[in-house]
Amino acid sequence: MTISIFEDNSQLRESLVSFLRLKEGVTIAGAYENVLSIAGHVQRDKPDLVLMDIDMPGMSGIEAVKIVRSLNNDVAILMLTVFDDNQHVFDAICAGASGYLLKKHIADRLFSAVDEVMTGGAPMSPSIARMVINSMKIAQKEHNPYLLTPRELDILRSLSTGNSYKLISSELNITLDTVRTHIKKIYEKLHVHSQTEAVSKALREKLV
């Protein structure tokens, strides 16, 4: 596992390097005091994991996360922060961070947090998780204001291409009765009464 560290506190940065070197299989690619050249560092280091302080001089860790994500969607990013459950943590997660760790817990939780994030987990407190989920719900509602289900959207897309109920049934591998049931729900949600109205509304409002 290759790790790059971005932390402006020199003492903590050095402690992180020393501590992580105790973990089997870890290579420290670089340890930096700011994120002003993060694009170059990440492209050169090719880390599996980035440890990122949120409050950094010159450019915040949140902005740095956005830069990293523009270059690499696969690298894990674990935020380091003094504060729990604040807007900065939430903003970092929304920007693409994989999780976060409170600095006061580094000594006893760093290794477990690293293992968790590298196996696809997302270490974060329940309250931050709730904020993320609520944000996703709001975004989904804005994009899908009628709260159509994925299956209903599939059927609406198929309808919009001119497919018959029979073709939709075959295409989605569902029965004709199921297609009719879904279309009835689509009409109710869109407040329309015909296929023409439904397709027209879907295309006009870019639902499909």
CATH classification at residue 57: 3.40.50.2300
Do 27 and 76 fall within a single domain? yes
| CATH number reported for the structural domain that contains residue 169 in this entry | 1.10.10.10
In the chain, % of residues over pLDDT 90: 60
| Angle in degrees, CA 54, 112, 80, rounded to 5 | 5
Tell which of 140, 160, 188 closes a domain.
Answer: 140
Q: How many structural domains compose the chain?
A: 2
Domain hosting 186: range is 150-204
Predicted TM-score of the model (pTM): 0.65
Do 97 and 69 fall within a single domain? yes
Do 79 and 15 fall within a single domain? yes
Q: What is the pLDDT of residue 206?
A: 82
Beta bridge partners of 6: 32, 52
Sheet of 27-32, strand order: 27-32, 2-6, 49-53, 76-81, 99-102
pLDDT at 122 over 70: yes
Do 24 and 96 fall within a single domain? yes
Confidence of residue 139 (pLDDT cuts 50, 70, 90): low
Q: What is the pLDDT of residue 140?
A: 63
Determine, yes or no, domain membership for 105.
yes
Tell which of 94, 111, 140 closes a domain.
Answer: 140
Determine, yes or no, domain membership for 193.
yes
Determine, yes or no, domain membership for 44.
yes
Q: What is the pLDDT of residue 68?
A: 95
pLDDT digits (tens, 9 = 90+) for 176-207: 999 999 999 999 999 999 888 898 988 888 88
Determine, yes or no, domain membership for 145.
no
Mean pLDDT score of the chain: 89
Q: What is the pLDDT of residue 138?
A: 67
pLDDT at 86 over 80: no
Determine, yes or no, domain membership for 187.
yes
Q: What is the pLDDT of residue 124?
A: 79
Cα–Cα distance for residue pair 104/90, rounded to 1 Å: 19
Tell which of 111, 140, 169 closes a domain.
Answer: 140
Do 42 and 69 fall within a single domain? yes
What does the block give as tokens for 4?
């790059």
Confidence of residue 7 (pLDDT cuts 50, 70, 90): very high
